Amino acid sequence: MLKLPYGNAICYSGYRRGQSPGDRIYPSLTEIREDLHILHKNWRLLRLYDCSTHAERVLEVIRRDRLDFQVMLGAHLGAEMNNFGCPWGATYSEEQLEANVAENDAEVERLITLARHNDDIVFSVAVGNEATVDWTDHFVPVDRMIQHVRRVKDGVPQPVTFCENYVPWREKLSDLVRELDFISLHTYPVWEYKHVHDALHYSKDNYHSVASLYPDKPVVISEAGWATNSNGRGINPENSSQELQAIYYQDLMEWTSSERILTFVFEAFDEPWKGSSDPLEPEKHWGLFTVDREPKIVMQQLYAERLRNRRTA
């Protein structure tokens, strides 16, 4: 069976205020260097989401500073087909879908190139993220996902995966599973209105409902986390706080550590560019650190010295 690295793992996207992948305004090398030196205190495995300038700079800082990170490098895939079941109603013209197909092919080529040129840092590659689930706004049909995965497998030496919500893995993606080296699933009890004291049990059920179907295929958790603010869109405000995040994080780490399940916590830093303009939009508030790089409650003991230094600066 495939042997993947194991250790503390976290999803990293370094966009700060005024920056976003959509606008192609990326964190600087200096900003990324600050982030990676913060994270290096506790994590050695990073997940990246695309092959943009952001990813290139992350890999450059890791190499320049000789940081012993290993990276799951991702490709961002845009919508290749309209998904009329998307609850926020994202639809695209045929011209836009055609452009997305061409851009996805280009992104896959960037993934192959970056992975090959950084094979000492990149331990695996993820061909897309949440592109097949019923509610996605960047839908890619399964047969097309298989084409992308085959192209990547032909082009890179690293193990190949796809990152997706746990539900599609149960049946819809069975043909895709045969093409992958390992499965990467997401579990978010808070998005499904679970109380924090039911959350770990729910995440375990999510994980085992997939792992039991594919006993010969490694399964990792590529996203799991808890929002710390909400305006009520999809998450009850009373069910989102730093205190609840800390509880779920501790429970999740205890379970996955005891079972040696590679788990990427979502996520390192809050991302204000996400979601609506409402500052309490839950999409903005999953970081273990704020957008200003202040440790939230879950990290305050580990980063107590950083807190002291900032308060006396």
The answer to whether the CB of 149 falls within 8 A of the CB of 109 is: no
Residue with the larger pLDDT of the pair 273 and 90? 273
Eight-state DSSP code of residue 28: -
3-state secondary structure of 162: strand
C-alpha closest to that of 273 among 11, 27, 73, 96 = 27
3-state secondary structure of 105: helix
Is 5 part of a structural domain of the chain? no
Q: Over the stretch 108-119, which tens digit does the pLDDT of each residue have?
A: 999 999 999 999
CA dist 141 and 181 (Å) reads 20
Q: Over the stretch 4-26, which tens digit does the pLDDT of each residue have?
A: 999 999 999 999 999 999 999 99
User: The domain containing residue 267 runs over which residues?
Assistant: 20-312
Kind and range of the H or E element at 164? strand 160-165
Q: Count of domains in the chain?
A: 1
Q: Cβ–Cβ contacts within 10 Å for residue 24, how many?
A: 10
3-state secondary structure of 47: strand
Is 238 part of a structural domain of the chain? yes
* Percent residues over pLDDT 70 in the chain: 98
9-11 and 263-265 strand pairing: parallel
Output b/e per residue, 57-82; b: 16+ Cβ within 10 A.
Answer: bbbebbeeeebebbbbbbbbbbbbeb
CA dist 272 and 270 (Å) reads 6
Q: Over the stretch 152-174, which tens digit does the pLDDT of each residue have?
A: 999 999 999 999 999 999 999 99
Is 1 part of a structural domain of the chain? no
Domain harbouring 248, CATH code: 3.20.20.80
Is 99 part of a structural domain of the chain? yes
Is 7 part of a structural domain of the chain? no
The answer to whether the CB of 53 falls within 8 A of the CB of 20 is: no
CA dist 14 and 29 (Å) reads 10
Is 14 part of a structural domain of the chain? no
3-state secondary structure of 300: helix
Confidence (pLDDT) at 71: 98
Is 45 part of a structural domain of the chain? yes
pTM metric for this prediction = 0.96
Confidence (pLDDT) at 93: 96
